[in-house]
Amino acid sequence: MSSYLLLEKARYMQALVLDVDGILSDGFVTLSNTGDELKSFDIRDGLGMKLVQSIGMKVIIITGRKSHIVEKRMSDLGVDLVFQGREDKGVALREACTQLGLLPEDCLYMGDDWPDLSAFSIAGMKVTVPNGHVEVRRRADLVTQAYGGRGAVREVCDMLLHAKNAYEQVLAKFLTISD
pLDDT of residue 73: 96
Q: What is the pLDDT at residue 179?
A: 65
User: pLDDT tens digits, residue range 55-91?
Assistant: 999 999 999 999 999 999 999 999 999 999 999 999 9
Q: Residue 175 has what pLDDT?
A: 94
3-state secondary structure of 171: helix
Asked whether 152 and 138 are in contact (CB, 8 A), the reply is: no
The pLDDT of residue 29: 83
> What pLDDT sits at residue 46?
97
| Distance of alpha carbon 140 from alpha carbon 127, whole angstroms | 5
Reported as a single tens digit per residue, the pLDDT across 113-123 is 999 999 999 99
What pLDDT is stored for residue 44 in this prediction? 97
What phi-psi label fits residue 146: left (phi over 0), alpha (psi between -120 and 50 degrees) or beta?
beta
**pLDDT tens digits for 130-162?**
999 999 999 999 999 999 999 999 999 999 999
* Strand-pair partners of 82: 61
Asked if residue 2 has pLDDT above 90, the reply is no
Q: What is the mean pLDDT of the chain?
A: 95
**CA gyration radius, the chain:** 16
CB-based contact 21:63 (threshold 8 Å): yes
- For residue 51, the cross-strand partners are none
Confidence class of residue 3 from pLDDT cuts 50, 70 and 90? confident
Instruction: Report the half-sphere exposure of 164 (CA within 13 A, side-chain side).
Output: 22
Compute φ and ψ for 4, nearest 5 degrees. Answer: -60, -50
Q: Is the pLDDT of residue 178 over 80?
A: no
Long-range CB pairs of 90-99 (<8 Å, 24+ gap) are 90/118, 90/119, 90/121, 90/122, 91/118, 92/62, 92/119, 93/17, 93/60, 93/62, 93/118, 93/119, 93/122, 93/123, 94/122, 96/15, 96/17, 96/60, 96/62, 97/15
